[in-house]
């Protein structure tokens, strides 16, 4: 999908239309000022999704850096045991 680019004056004149473009297309709208890139706006759902994706990527990168540095990880058995304990704890917390 091609980026959506609008002059900043369009935001002042037609905020509701720009917001609708963001919500419907689930993509940012790039605003220009005097012909130069200035601001990016997006709907809250798209922003939240991007923030979640970025946080996940940062966790993966940290894990990969730790692996490359030789930091000890967990065996599959340790991982499965930790997951079982977390599930049991979650069940107790939610009264199951």
The domain spans of the chain are 4-42, 46-93
Q: What is the pLDDT of residues 18-72, one digit of tens each?
A: 999 999 999 999 999 999 999 999 999 999 999 999 999 999 999 889 888 988 7
What pLDDT was estimated at residue 24? 95
* Nearby residues of 27 by Cβ (< 8 Å), 6 or more positions away: 1, 3, 4, 42, 46
What pLDDT was estimated at residue 55? 94
**Around Cβ 45, how many Cβ atoms within 10 Å?**
11
What pLDDT was estimated at residue 94? 62
What pLDDT was estimated at residue 96? 55
What pLDDT was estimated at residue 95? 62
Task: Name the residue with tokens 């997951």.
Answer: 83
Across 68-94, average pLDDT: 83
Write down the CATH number for the domain with range 4-42: 3.40.1620.10
């Amino acid at each position: 999908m091609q980026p959506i680019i609008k002059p900043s004056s369009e935001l002042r004149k037609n905020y509701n239309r720009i917001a609708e473009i963001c919500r419907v297309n689930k993509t940012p709208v790039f605003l220009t000022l005097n012909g130069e890139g200035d601001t990016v706006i997006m709907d809250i759902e798209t922003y939240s999704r991007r923030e979640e994706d970025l946080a996940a990527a940062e966790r993966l990168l940290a894990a990969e850096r730790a692996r490359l540095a030789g930091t000890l990880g967990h065996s599959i058995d340790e991982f499965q045991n930790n997951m079982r304990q977390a599930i049991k704890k979650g069940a107790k917390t939610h009264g199951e």
